[in-house]
Amino acid sequence: MKVLVTGGAGFIGANFVHQTIADYPQAQVTVLDKLTYAGNLSSLDGLGERVKLVVGDIADRDTVDPLVADVDLVVHFAAESHNDNSLRDPSPFIQTNLVGTFQLLEAVRRHNVRYHHISTDEVYGDLELDDPAKFTPATPYNPSSPYSASKAGSDLLVRAWVRSFGVEATISNCSNNYGPYQHIEKFIPRQITNLIDGVRPKLYGAGLNVRDWIHVRDHNTAVWAIIEKGRIGETYLIGADGELDNKSVVELILELMGHDPSDYDHVNDRPGHDLRYAIDATKLRETTGWEPRFKDFRSGLADTIAWYRDNEHWWRAQKAEVEAKYAAQGQ
Ligand code: NAD
Ligand code: TDX
């Protein structure tokens, strides 16, 4: 089985490649990654001969076409993925998330290759804090940020290519991931690395916004379950019932790292900040039998903290630049 993994040097993609090599002995993986600021070659260290890396852009037809022609399956993770960056400069989000997805869809259409599209629950907009509802596959699209709008657009392209051209595709929309290899611009690794540096964690606004946390390894086992058992043309929501407000997450990180849980700062809020995300994963569970394995957030977070402590060489070079960008915005 030959698999093309786009964005395989990023957070979720690199974890997916590690899991695929470990769990699928027949798999040969080609990673296509542009190695933007978010891609890190060392995330793929030690994987051996079954993984090949091609440095290139998913929005470039001539790069994409021969790679897609040579595989049985494309799993598309590559994206500009950070909301705060999309507020500073939306243009790479349009290019990579929309034009890049378009080029991949055209290539899988030409070569008749199975395609799985990785997306986010943010396409559904947000829920009120006191609303008992969760997102389901029937929730209307209502994205808030340039990032989530570009992901929503890419999902709609996939649906159109299934309906109009018979492309064999599935889509998954997952909630917030945590775990090893996540870029330190993101909430959890930013706070862990701040504390390693003796800096207080930074909470946007009042910190009451809720995210539905899932361990990255559970996201990836769900992706494989959909590839193996999902119905072509269908959308599956991936989540593990991990709702927590940001304040509680910061307090837990502080406690697990040996600090007073109130030792954090409130900083400027994100413009348009989505209030709450929550996933109803019933369809995924009933169709595929998938179950999350990392249900204990406290122990998953403790392992993640240990990973950032043990792998300072992986993130250190980016820390000053990331913090300078946040500081310029009072964050
Ligand atoms: P990431 O930013 O860590 O990694 C993205 C990777 O894509 C990087 O390696 C980068 O170099 C690569 N890339 C960017 N532009 C490219 C281009 N034009 N051509 C080729 N490669 C390119 O992102 P992530 O957090 O691992 O997210 C992966 C996917 O999962 C994205 O599609 C994202 O929307 C989705 N997602 C993420 C989360 C989350 O919590 N992180 C949740 C749900 C869905
Ligand atoms: O320093 C911070 N302080 C803070 O309070 C940062 C960086 C974030 N936050 C808040 C904003 C969010 O409410 O924490 C929450 C999580 O922030 P991010 O890590 O930026 O994630 P989010 O915006 O929720 O989006 C993530 O989940 C969905 C991923 O980055 C997306 O790629 C994915 O689609």
pLDDT digits over 19-78, tens only?
999 999 999 999 999 999 999 999 999 999 999 999 999 999 999 999 999 999 999 999
Listing DSSP states for 87-100 in one string gives HH--HHHIIIIIII
Q: What is the pLDDT of residue 143?
A: 98
Q: Which residues contact 242 (CB under 8 A, 6 or more apart)?
A: 175, 212, 213, 214, 297
Q: What is the pLDDT of residue 277?
A: 98
Q: What is the pLDDT of residue 215?
A: 98
Strand partners, 289: none
How far, in Å, is the centroid of ligand 1 from the Cα of 38?
8
Q: What is the pLDDT of residue 165?
A: 98
pLDDT digits over 123-173, tens only?
999 999 999 999 999 999 999 999 999 999 999 999 999 999 999 999 999
Walk me through the domains of the chain, giving residue ranges and CATH numbers: 2-178+214-238 (3.40.50.720)
Torsional class of 48: left (φ above 0), alpha (ψ -120 to 50), beta (otherwise): left
Q: Which residue's CA is the closest to the ligand 2 atom numbered 27? A: 176
pLDDT digits over 231-263, tens only?
999 999 999 999 999 999 999 999 999 999 999
Asked if 92 and 80 touch (Cβ cutoff 8 Å), the reply is yes
Percent of the chain surpassing pLDDT 70: 100
Q: Which residues line ligand 1 (CB under 6 A)?
A: 6-7, 9-13, 32-36, 38-39, 57-59, 77-81, 96, 100, 118, 120, 151, 174, 176-177, 183
CA 76 to ligand 1: nearest atom: 32
pTM here? 0.99
Distance CA 120, CA 14 (A): 17
pLDDT digits over 278-325, tens only?
999 999 999 999 999 999 999 999 999 999 999 999 999 999 999 999
Q: Which ligand has the shortest distance to the CA of 182? A: 1
Listing DSSP states for 23-42 in one string gives H-TT-EEEEEE---TT--GG
Distance CA 311, CA 2 (A): 31
How is residue 300 written in tokens?
A: 């998953």
Query: Per-residue pLDDT averaged across 81-96, rounded?
Result: 98
Q: What is the pLDDT of residue 181?
A: 98
Q: What is the pLDDT of residue 161?
A: 98
Q: Which residues line ligand 2 (CB under 6 A)?
A: 81-83, 120, 122, 176, 186-187, 190, 202-204, 209, 211, 246, 270
Q: Which residues contact 261 (CB under 8 A, 6 or more apart)?
A: 251, 252, 254, 255
Q: What is the pLDDT of residue 36?
A: 98
Strand partners, 51: 29
**Active-site option among 121, 155, 245, 274:** 121
Q: Is 264 a catalytic residue?
A: no
Q: Which residue's CA is the closest to the ligand 1 atom numbered 10? A: 39
Asked if 136 and 239 touch (Cβ cutoff 8 Å), the reply is no
Q: Is 147 a catalytic residue?
A: yes
Distance CA 11, CA 82 (A): 12
How far, in Å, is the centroid of ligand 2 from the Cα of 277?
11
Q: Is 121 a catalytic residue?
A: yes
Q: What is the pLDDT of residue 78?
A: 99
How is residue 152 written in tokens?
A: 């929503």
Q: How many residues does the chain have?
A: 331
**Active-site option among 115, 147, 178, 277:** 147
Q: What is the pLDDT of residue 135?
A: 98
Count the Cβ atoms, other than its own, within 10 Å of residue 294: 20
Q: What is the pLDDT of residue 46?
A: 94
**Active-site option among 57, 122, 243, 251:** 122
